[in-house]
Amino acid sequence: MKINNGLIFLLVLMVPFLLNGMTRVYEEKIQDQATTHRFDIETTPLGGSVNLQSEKGDTVIKQTFAVDPHLSTRTWAYENSKESTKITASREGNKIFLKGQTRGKPIEKTFKINELSWNQTFNLGLEQFALSPEKSMIFWAIGTKGPGNMKITRFKVKKKGIETISINGKKVEAVYITISLTGLLSVFWTGNYWYRKSDGVFLRYQGKGGPGTGISIMELTSESNETD
């Protein structure tokens, strides 16, 4: 069967691609340390691409994601030169193939998953869910820190309600969501996320920053569209 690229593009347009704001900047603070996260977002015929650069002091982490129209990850590249880590991963059916170098050592893994979404973009990847009628969902993600480094884990998402929060000095109605590990592991980590009620844009994260690091708070500081 011959695939018509024009037809594919039209079908994709029928599904909202909700990563509004082609460039977004977030600031994350843990105690007296700050990290700046810059997301550059582009819509493509098959969904979208996200380039993320995170800077903390002399540490720069670069990530690139290709996502489908539902914001599920198709491919992911991660580079942290300070830790001698550079990997790529891609999904084919119910398998994710990862290879490269992590912490100076070669790595090649195949993760066998199921039909659940692979949400490596994590916070941005839940923007459609925030606007949907669904109350909960489960997704897969690959870790990049601590004991979960380059291991895949399932996470559970729950909507908690609507709250009014302050972002850049303005009051905003937001969908409040929690994310935790599944099963018995849920006691080890829970993250709190807020998404703008009007369009689903990720606004704030608050949760544990890691062992012995205290509470991490990440907030949107600026956003702009191509037409701005």
pLDDT digits (tens, 9 = 90+) for 121-175: 999 999 999 999 999 999 999 999 888 899 999 999 999 999 999 999 999 999 9
Asked if the structure places residue 99 within a domain, the reply is: yes
Asked if the structure places residue 34 within a domain, the reply is: yes
Asked if the structure places residue 211 within a domain, the reply is: yes
Q: One digit per residue, pLDDT tens: the chain, 228 residues?
A: 443 444 333 333 444 566 766 999 999 999 889 999 999 999 888 899 999 999 999 999 999 999 999 999 999 999 999 999 999 999 999 999 999 999 999 999 999 999 999 999 999 999 999 999 999 999 999 999 888 899 999 999 999 999 999 999 999 999 999 999 987 666 678 899 999 999 999 999 999 766 566 899 999 999 998 544
User: Which H or E element spans position 129?
Assistant: helix 127-131
Asked if the structure places residue 129 within a domain, the reply is: yes
Q: Cα(65)–Cα(175) distance, rounded to whole angstroms?
A: 24
Q: Cα(106)–Cα(206) distance, rounded to whole angstroms?
A: 33
Asked if the structure places residue 11 within a domain, the reply is: no
**Two structure tokens written together for 24:** 């977004």
Asked if the structure places residue 12 within a domain, the reply is: no
Q: Cα(30)–Cα(110) distance, rounded to whole angstroms?
A: 33
Rg, Å, the chain Cα set: 18
Asked if the structure places residue 4 within a domain, the reply is: no
Q: Which residue has the tokens 């870790």?
A: 143
Q: Specify whether the CB–CB gap between 174 and 194 falls below 8 A.
A: yes
Q: What is the number of domains present in the chain?
A: 1
- Please state the pTM of the whole predicted model: 0.88
Asked if the structure places residue 9 within a domain, the reply is: no
With CA atoms as reference, report the closest residue to 74 among 15, 117, 45: 117
Domain that includes residue 65, residue range: 20-224
